[in-house]
Structure 1
Amino acid sequence: MAGQFIVRSLLLATLALSSTLADTAKATTTSKTDDYQHQREQFVQQMVTKHNFARDQVEELLTQAQRNEAILEAIARPWEAKPWFQYYPIFLTEKRLAAGLKFWHEHQDTLARAEQHYGVPAEIIVAIIGVETFYGGYLGNYLVLDALYTLGFHYPPRSKFFRSELEQYLLLTQEEKLPATELKGSYAGAMGYGQFISSSYRHYAVDFDGDNVRDLLNNPVDAIGSVANYFAKHGWKTNQPVAVQLGTEDSFEKFVSKGLKPDQSIAELQQMGLKLPTELASDYQAKVFSFELEQGHEYWLGFTNFYVITRYNHSPLYAMAVYQFSQQLQQAKQSQQ
């Protein structure tokens, strides 16, 4: 009898726990649904009152947008989470170098004009477009509307940012007369040769061929001018260095600090005991970065221009890959002359 009582008690406790868990799951689902409906209504109302969109138009676009699980999976495993020794081989390849030299040759006059006008070196522009899309070869296969909808309403860590980008996207497609339900890009909603997000497209894209259209999706000339403009607007310093390699000695580790923005002058770093491999202006702002190798670390000194590259993608790995690729391009170009 005692055994039966214990079994029955355990069964009842299990049923009660199951019921509680089911109620909790139901409440959580209901809460998430309520949050989604609230955020969606807020977004619709914002587009109507702030930007004079028709409510039916916004509702229809959101109805057509689809939540895409592949996008949520992709943003959870970015390439920039890799260590440097696994990251750089993705971009520093002979195939990309050959494609970059071909692109440089085909658009030599445009690149020279962009460098003259904006002060950004041609090799940096070519490197960016090569790293981003392999010169238009990989523009992205995700519908931009789906990407921004998915991340804006179903990715809590950065939902506010991506809802803002969805707002910018609807404004962009209206201003540039682009089909909002058809454009494709990256899982984060970046588009075109230079992979501009919607806010960057609106603020930094330029009509560089004078046809009265800012076309970053199909026009490499506009893309070249727009990448150069983006860097110039973010503080590129003409004729100043990007980065200098320090070495692999562990003694450099003590100079590494958090963040991306250069926060010490060369003079200050030297006073702290940093040994430089070359002479540099004492007033340059700089920061020491560490890059993980298979064994040990490689240390570099990044300057303001290195920081400017991180405005394109907030990762020192990305900035270093772009810089090293730009140097490969420059050296290969010079050897061809």
Structure 2
Amino acid sequence: MNIKHKILASLLITSFSISATASTSTAIDDSNVASLKTEFMQTQKALGFTEKEVQQFLDKANYNQGVIDAMTRPWEAKPWHQYYPIFLTDKRLNAGVAFWKKHEATVKRAAKEFGVDPEIIIAIIGIETFYGGYMGNYPVVDALYTLGFYYPARATFFRKELSNLQTLIEDEKLDINNLKGSYAGAMGFGQFIPSSYRHYSVDFDHDGRRDLLNSPVDAIGSVANYFHQHGWQAGAPVALPLTVTGEFPADVKIWSGEKLNYKISDILSPSVSLAESIDLDISQPALVVNLEQQDKHEYWLGLKNFYVITRYNRSPLYAMAVYQFSQQLKHAHDGH
């Protein structure tokens, strides 16, 4: 793998939020780790694992400082004008169109069965792993073990994922010794963390396994199911550019991860309007995204479908990159 590919591989986006202000890890002493492992042991035994099975599972894991370092340097902290060029490239677009055409029937079936626009499915897999090209080189068990026991900021969350991993390995007959993924324990074409793998993956090629690591067909169906389960509305708008006169109104908060508290009618005003006229139900929920360009701020109105993309990754920059890439894909695919 050349240097460029190594850099791209390090930019894998996981299917959960990595805060742009992620806290750095504070030290956990050995006694605390021992206590957490005892708690983990009891949790796993309650799920039906024996003490020996849990211990053998933990014995496979190793602390990885690189995981901690990566968690404290989130790429979503970059301004938009530095973020989007990482993902919106001609190379990724060409690969996306080729992947779409290769799996045309599967994508069409997934879009119809789950009610998800096909370009969104293709965009997610492209942004996440360059269509399976960069799935991550971290042992998944090491990543989740390290974060679950040595990363206080989100240790509880990652111990739950470590717990899900043990169940997932047993259910799907995965090889723990060769299970690689992102620094946050996400794996496969769509970078599903263990809980998402367990709850949203589907056997879309009907071979008796839900294989997101080797089967692009299962990955396509699983990404579509994930969006379906989170409320995607096929054919509905995702995000619309805004025209702002003067400063953006101080009484409208830029979206930062919270639930949809505004309606479109709360956002539009004499100084904030749609850049292009479109018929909209202004009573529907919405949010405002601020994209930092080099010489200006660019504002967008995010609708329900935009919010659904953020269920895959909480970053508004990620969601906007997925949306804009999906539009490039649709144009290029339909043009062919």
Q: TM-score, normalised by structure 1?
A: 0.87
- Residue 40 (structure 1) aligns with: 37
Q: Secondary structure at the match of 1:110?
A: helix
Which range moved further: 179-188 or 264-273? 264-273
The within-5 A match list for 1:319-330 is 319-330=319-330
Residue identity in the other structure for 1:163: R
Per-residue CA shift, 1:21-43, capped at 9, x if unaligned? xxxxxxx98x7111000001110
Question: Percent sequence identity over matched residues?
Answer: 53
Per-residue CA shift, 1:237-282, capped at 9, x if unaligned? 1221100011465433543434333322223333575322322222
Q: Is the 8 A contact 1:72 1:151 kept in 2?
A: yes
Q: Is the 8 A contact 1:253 1:290 kept in 2?
A: no
Q: Is the 8 A contact 1:85 1:293 kept in 2?
A: yes
Q: Secondary structure at the match of 1:237?
A: coil
- Residue 283 (structure 2) aligns with: 283
Distance in 2, matches of 1:257 and 1:146, equals: 36
Instruction: Give the gaps of 5 or more residues in structure 1.
Output: 1-27
TM-aligned CA distance change 1:194 to 1:155, over 3 Å: same
- Residue 266 (structure 1) aligns with: 264
Q: Secondary structure at the match of 1:298?
A: strand
Higher relative contact order, structure no. (Cα contacts within 8 Å, ≥ 6 residues apart): 2
The within-5 A match list for 1:215-234 is 215-234=211-230
Aligned residues: 307
Which range moved further: 291-300 or 243-252? 243-252
Residue 145 (str. 1) matches residue 141 (str. 2): yes
Residue 161 (str. 1) matches residue 154 (str. 2): no
Q: Secondary structure at the match of 2:312?
A: coil
Question: Which is richer in helix?
Answer: 1
1:112 to 103, 108, 114: 108
What is the RMSD computed on CA atoms of the aligned residues? Answer: 1.7
TM-aligned CA distance change 1:232 to 1:272, over 3 Å: farther
Q: Secondary structure at the match of 1:244?
A: strand
TM-aligned CA distance change 1:117 to 1:47, over 3 Å: same
Residue identity in the other structure for 1:164: K
Q: Is the 8 A contact 2:243 2:272 kept in 1?
A: no
Q: Secondary structure at the match of 1:275?
A: strand
- Residue 293 (structure 1) aligns with: 293
Deviation at 1:295, TM superposition (A): 1.3
Deviation at 1:213, TM superposition (A): 0.9
- Residue 240 (structure 1) aligns with: 236
Residue identity in the other structure for 2:154: R
Residue identity in the other structure for 1:311: R
Q: Is the 8 A contact 1:235 1:308 kept in 2?
A: yes
Instruction: Give the gaps of 5 or more residues in structure 2.
Output: 1-25
Distance in 2, matches of 1:70 and 1:164, equals: 21
Query: If you compute each CA radius of gyration, which structure gives the higher value, 1 or 2?
Result: 1
